Amino acid sequence: MITTTHYMVLSAALFMIGVLGVVTRRNIIIIFMSIELILNAVNINLMAFSMRWGNPVGQVFTLFVIAVAAAEAAVGLGIILALYRNKDTINIDEMNIMRS
């Protein structure tokens, strides 16, 4: 029998992999994809609890998270493109134009 705990552990593991990607990779596109993985983990949790309590509001919030993820991806990738045209890099260690 699959309980909510199973979904929570799956979600935690997916979240962990996303965090791992964010903190270990230097390629900003892969960091963005890791953030998408984290959002997916959140969605799995929302869906699991929606099923658990028999309440569709969790699914509504999942839809909102998906919409916000789409907006975030569009704006973030636009920023990456603009930065690449100006600095010719997608390595976050070299993105320090605001420091000097």
Residue ranges in 20-79 that form contacts with another protein under rule CB under 8 A: 20-21, 23-27, 29-30, 32-34, 36-37, 40, 43-44, 47-48, 50-57, 59-60, 62-64, 66-75, 77-79
Tell me the three state secondary structure of residue 91: strand
Q: Cβ closer to another protein: 3 or 100? A: 3
Rounded Cα–Cα distance for residues 86 and 35 (Å): 24
Tell me the three state secondary structure of residue 27: strand
Identify the residue among 93, 97, 98, 99 touching another protein (CB under 8 A). Answer: 93
**87 forms part of the interface with another protein (CB under 8 A):** no
Element (H, E) at 55: none
Q: Cβ closer to another protein: 26 or 100? A: 26
Size of the site for another protein (CB under 8 A): 74
Are the C-beta atoms of 52 and 43 separated by less than 8 Å? no
Are the C-beta atoms of 84 and 90 separated by less than 8 Å? yes
